[in-house]
Structure 1
Amino acid sequence: MYITPQAAERHTLSIVVDNEAGILARIAGMFTARGYNIASLTVADITEDHAVSRITIVTNGPPAVIDQIIAQLDRLVPVHRVTDLTELGPHVERELALVKVQGTGEHRIEALRLAEVYRARVVDATIASFVFEVTGTPEKVDKFCELMREVGLVEVARTGVAAIARGREAV
């Protein structure tokens, strides 16, 4: 009997941890040891006393693999909780990118026009280039970068996804 493999799904995980040395390495090591990919990773402390941090990881895998990742993360000692924001439901994801574009003449005008459409801000400008700051969903940032390739994209620096659940409760 042939069993069809399950399609990989994109999941955004929010992991609340004690802010201690080595926790990020332990989490990244868990992904590496098991062959799981991290598409995006961001970390920031979330308490006034800097004792607790939130790690946001975007990963891909079939549901069984995502469940296994969550279970393994939950077993790590300094982890307070793991929330699969994708499974939870409505949540907000944003990413920031700095996009350097070179160009003169029509390419320069087109880059500025596209930046206006995507609500990207010019944060640096020279005679021959711009650096734009664009924020939004990862898909919006991807599309902006794709369009800028046609007018002179030089390089991109991205922050990774920051995400939070919608609603009144903390998760």
Structure 2
Amino acid sequence: MKIKEEASERHVLTITVDNEAGILAKIAGLFTARGYNIDSLTVADITENHNVSRITIVTHGPPAQIDQIHAQLERLVPVHKVVDLTEVGPYVERELALIKVAGTGDIRVEALRVAEVFRAKVVDTSTRSFVFELTGTPDKIDSFIAIMRELGIVEVGRTGVVGMIRGPEAA
């Protein structure tokens, strides 16, 4: 008899927390202790007085696991709110990447042409390399990197996903 496995789904969680030492370690520890993977993690202060931070985590798992993560995060003391953007409706997500590509001659010309198509911005250049800045969905960035890999990627840095629900309401 085969046991049916639940399909793993991608979820974008935003967590509003007190901006205090150790909160990120608590949240990461919660994921680690239960064997959950974090695909992307971003953290930033979001208030003028620096009291509150917003953490955005991208993770994968079956619905029951995501529900469990949500419930466990809400029980942590410095957590104000947990929102699963994937569940609340339409949302926008973006990521920033810096991609260094080395090359001369035709490779250099092709890298610039591809960058233009993807609307990547040249933020640094030398006679033998470029650093491109690209914002967009993770899929867009993955596609750009795949093409640039063939042209001579030297280094990639990515910020991780940030997301927000569409419309006038706060998450």
TM-score (norm 2): 0.98
What corresponds to 1:19 in structure 2? 19
Q: CA deviation at 1:3?
A: 2.9
Equivalences for 1:86-165 in 2 at 5 Å? Answer: 86-165=86-165
What corresponds to 1:7 in structure 2? 7
What is the CA–CA distance in structure 2 between the aligned matches of 1:20 and 1:128, rounded to whole Å? 44
Structure 1 runs (4+) greater than 4 angstroms displaced: none
SS of 1:13's equivalent? Answer: strand
For residues 54-102 of structure 1, the C-alpha deviation after alignment (integer angstroms, 9 at most, x for no partner) is: 1000000010100000000000001011000001111110000000000
Q: CA deviation at 1:2?
A: 3.1
What corresponds to 1:70 in structure 2? 70
TM-score (norm 1): 0.98
Cα-Cα RMSD: 0.7
The amino acid that maps onto 1:58 is V
The amino acid that maps onto 2:97 is A
Q: Identity of paired residues, percent?
A: 71
Unmatched 5+ residue regions in structure 1? none
What is the CA–CA distance in structure 2 between the aligned matches of 1:78 and 1:2, rounded to whole Å? 42
Q: CA deviation at 1:48?
A: 1.0
What is the CA–CA distance in structure 1 between the aligned matches of 2:169 and 2:130, rounded to whole Å? 41
Unmatched 5+ residue regions in structure 2? none
What is the CA–CA distance in structure 2 between the aligned matches of 1:9 and 1:68, rounded to whole Å? 14
What is the CA–CA distance in structure 2 between the aligned matches of 1:140 and 1:89, rounded to whole Å? 21
* Aligned length in residues: 171
The amino acid that maps onto 2:71 is A
What is the CA–CA distance in structure 1 between the aligned matches of 2:47 and 2:74, rounded to whole Å? 20
